[in-house]
Copies of this chain bind each other. A is one copy, B any other.
Amino acid sequence: MGTVVALAGQVGGAKLADGLYRLRGRDLAVIVNTGDDYQHLGLDFSPDLDTMLYMLAGIASPAAGWEPENETRAAQGMLKKLGGPDRPPLGDKSLATALLRTQGLADERRLTEITLDFCRALGVQARVLPMSDDPVRTQVITDDGAVSYHEYFTEMGCGPAARSLQYNGAADARISDEVLEALHASDLEAIVICPANPFHVIRPILEVGGMRQLLKERGVPIVAITPIVGGKALKGSAGKMMSELGREPSARGAASEYLRLIDGFMIDRQDFALVESVRSLGIQVAVAQTVMRSPDERVALARAVLDFARSIREKKAAEVE
C-alpha cells in the first residue's frame, strides 16, 4: 500500500479524511482549504484546518463537527458583558486553538509548521497541511459587492445570491514544501477530492499557483466524491450556490466542476440513475453510500474510494500495455 493525498475542507470533507486516516494512518496527507480563514478579535481562525484536526484527533463534537466536543462559551459571554462583539460564535476551546495559531504566526512560524505541531500534540499521525502558507481569501460576489466567505456565511447566513467567487491571493500563493513532498511521494497511489462545496472549499485549493497543473501531471488517479446527493448538499450551501452560479445542482453538476482534472467521480447510490449522464462527461463513475453517519461508514466510503482509484490505475496500466 502506498500513500494517499486528500483535498478537503468542511465537516463532510473531514469525515472522509477520517475514514482514510483510519485505513492509512501516517500514510495520509490532507491538503486543507484556508480560503475561508478569517481574523476576529485580532486572532487568526482557520475553520477548515481546525475541523480537520479535531476530527482526526477524535475530539470533534458529534453534533457540531467543526468544534471540539463539550465546547463551552464562557469567554463569549464575558465578551458580551464587556461590550464586545457577540458574533461570530466563539467557543472557549476553539479560542485556544486560534490563540496558539496567532502567537505562532506572530513568532514568524509558518502556518504549516504550526498545524503540524498541533497534529503532533493531538497525536494525529496523518499530515494536515494548509493549502499554502500564504494567505488566500475567498470572496463571494453578491449583487451588493464582494464579501469574504466568512462574512457571507456568519453574518449573512448565505442569504444573498452568489454571482461568482474570487480567490484573492491564490495565484501568488506558494505551494509549501510539505505539500510538494506529499504530492511527489514515489509511492503516492491516489489523490482524493473529498465531498465539500466545490466553489469555496475545493476550488481555492486548486487555484493556488501551480496546484492544478501539479495534480494533473502527477499521473496518479484523481477521484472526487460528490457533495450533492439527491439534488442537494447534505449540509451547507453547495446546492444553493450551484443554482445561483448557473450550475445544475446535482451530482452531475458537481462532477462538471472537476472536468479536465479528475479521472473518476463517485456518486451516491441514491443517484444511481445519473451514472450514464455523469459518465458522458468523459470520466469514470462509481456508486457508493456517500452519506457518512458513523465512523464505520467513513471507513466504508474511504475503502470504496481507494478501491475505485485502484481500478482506475489498473485500467490505465492495461491501456498502456
A residues in contact (CB < 8 Å) with B: 41-43, 59, 68, 71-72, 74-79, 81-84, 91-93, 95-97, 99-100, 102-103, 106, 117-118, 120-122
**What are 24 pairs between A and B in contact, CB < 8 Å?**
A41-B100, A42-B102, A42-B103, A42-B106, A72-B74, A72-B92, A74-B91, A75-B92, A75-B93, A75-B95, A75-B99, A77-B96, A78-B92, A78-B93, A78-B96, A82-B96, A82-B117, A82-B121, A83-B118, A83-B121, A84-B99, A84-B100, A92-B92, A95-B99
* Nearest CB of B to A158, in Å: 27
Q: Please determine whether B102 and A78 come into contact, CB atoms closer than 8 angstroms.
A: no
Residue of B nearest to A90 (CB): B96
* Nearest CB of B to A145, in Å: 24
Chain B residues closer than 8 Å to A78, beta-carbon distance: 68, 92-93, 96-97
* Nearest CB of B to A304, in Å: 33
Q: Please determine whether B76 and A96 come into contact, CB atoms closer than 8 angstroms.
A: yes
Number of copies: 2
Most buried by B among A41, A43, A74, A117: A74
A84 to B97, CA, bound (A): 9
Of B82, B91, B97, which contacts A97 at CB under 8 A? B82
Q: Is the interface of A mostly helix, strand, loop or mixed?
A: helix
Q: Please determine whether A92 and B121 come into contact, CB atoms closer than 8 angstroms.
A: no
Q: Please determine whether A100 and B79 come into contact, CB atoms closer than 8 angstroms.
A: yes
Most buried by B among A42, A43, A72, A120: A42
A93 to B80, CA, bound (A): 11
Q: Please determine whether B42 and A82 come into contact, CB atoms closer than 8 angstroms.
A: no
Q: Please determine whether A118 and B72 come into contact, CB atoms closer than 8 angstroms.
A: no
Chain B residues closer than 8 Å to A42, beta-carbon distance: 99, 102-103, 106
A72 to B120, CA, bound (A): 26
Q: Please determine whether B122 and A82 come into contact, CB atoms closer than 8 angstroms.
A: yes
Residue of B nearest to A94 (CB): B78
* Nearest CB of B to A313, in Å: 38
A72-B72, A75-B75, A92-B75 given; A121·B41 CB < 8 A: no
* Nearest CB of B to A51, in Å: 15
Q: Please determine whether A121 and B74 come into contact, CB atoms closer than 8 angstroms.
A: no
Chain B residues closer than 8 Å to A117, beta-carbon distance: 82-83
Residue of B nearest to A74 (CB): B92
A95 to B96, CA, bound (A): 10
Q: Please determine whether B95 and A82 come into contact, CB atoms closer than 8 angstroms.
A: no
* Nearest CB of B to A112, in Å: 15
